[in-house]
Amino acid sequence: MTKSERFLRACRKEPVDCTPVWLMRQAGRYMEEYRLVREKHSFLEMCRTPELAVEVTLQPIRRFDLDAAIIFSDILLPLEKMGVSLSFSDTGGPALGNPVRSKQDVLNLKAIDPETDLAYVLKAIEMTRQGLGGTVPLIGFCGAPFTLASYLIEGGGSKYYKLAKGMMHTEESAFHLLMEKLTDMACLYVNAQIRHGAQAVQMFDSWVGILSTTDYRTYVLPHMKRLFSSIDKSVPAIHFGVGTYHLLPLMEEAGGDVIGVDWRVPIDEAWALLGRRPAVQGNLDPTVLFTSRESIEGQVKDILARVIGSPGHIFNLGHGILPGTPVENVDFLISSVHDQSKLAS
């Protein structure tokens, strides 16, 4: 088996030579190479310029023994093309200039044509595939409808999601229409990424863990089912969330060939809650990368011991890698996953 096959085989729950590993936000601020590019260009400029997006996508692949690349981009980019103004600050996170607060605002959102509206992402995917030359597969991604809806309604990040939940509970038809429009967008967008070379796609439902199971079932599940049933079946789809222990059986019902789980529960317990149908991705606490080699290795061994012998585990962090993470610990983590999983199998 070549290294290039590890990740995709694990997504399909096929046996592998050792556990594949990639890290959410692996192209990011913790790398000096990234910071050098970022010093000269804004975050949005990096996303919108294929040459820059390709460069930072490839940086962690050149630096580390990772088993997959993920295209450098942002889940909020398609929202601009739906008619929302978007800006990023270094401190305050993303801000949307004209949030969606009424049914009319939802009606005003435009459908996108990824081939023209997000041509720069599709171009970056094509160029990255060329740059990778088959060494490791390339993952495309999209924000899941609920997480995007939260950003659109709140106008940025949020602590309590008061407005998003408010629309959900008092303007049900407007909320469902918003979810439908975002689902339409996501279907078109990820399928375009697949056509242009993405070999797997991850749906980031990063904020869905704040919902109750009841709200998820009513307001999110039907849309996620439609989304996963519309994604091109030729590549694996990864379904990711944080703080979702209570939602895991519903997320499994929603779909995805792989389900991402954070660090809160041991990965074998999470897998059991998923009925062991999908593959699983996770679940190291990103803060562990700030500790010692002993601590990292201990956690790697624990995670691997829980799933070894059951094909279908992709090693990852439970959430994105944090700024300031020491690169030598990233290197050590990746070797440790490969070495320990070879030893154990």
Binding stretches for its own copies (CB under 8 A): 160-162, 165-166, 169-170, 209-214, 243, 245-246, 263-266, 269, 285-288, 290-292, 295, 302, 322
Q: Are 264 and 245 in contact (CB under 8 A)?
A: yes
DSSP H or E run through 123: helix 119-132
What's the distance, CA 20 to chain centroid?
A: 16
What sign results for the dihedral spanned by CA atoms 166, 168, 174, 177?
Answer: positive
Nearer to its own copies, 202 or 325 (CB): 325
Structure tokens at 186: 């996501």
29 labelled catalytic = yes
Nearer to its own copies, 40 or 160 (CB): 160
Q: Which residue's CB is nearer to its own copies, number 52 or number 144? A: 144
As beta bridge partners, residue 94 has 88
Q: Which is nearer to its own copies, 311 or 320 (CB)?
A: 320
For the bound state, the minimum distance from the C-beta of residue 165 to its own copies, rounded and expressed in Å, comes to 4
Which one of the listed residues 30, 151, 189, 219 is annotated catalytic?
151
Q: Where are the extended beta strands (E) located within 74-123?
A: 86-89, 93-96
Name the catalytic one among 9, 48, 74, 117. 74
In the block, residue with structure tokens 């030893």: 343
Cβ proximity to its own copies, 3 vs 101, nearer residue: 101
User: Does the annotation count 25 as an active-site position?
Assistant: yes
Give the shortest CB-325-to-its own copies separation in angstroms: 10
Nearest-approach distance from CB 210 to its own copies, in angstroms: 8
CB of 166 to its own copies, least distance (A): 5
Distances (CA, A) of 82 to 2, 54, 288: 41, 25, 38
Name the minimum Å distance from CB 41 to its own copies: 26
The reply to whether 74 belongs to the active site is: yes
Residues 6+ apart with CB under 8 A from 71: 53, 57, 121, 124, 125, 128, 138, 139, 140, 141, 193, 198
Instruction: Indicate which residue of 17, 29, 232, 276 is catalytic.
Output: 29
29 burial (CB, 10 Å; 0-12 / 13-18 / 19+) is middle
Active site residues: 25, 29, 38, 74, 151
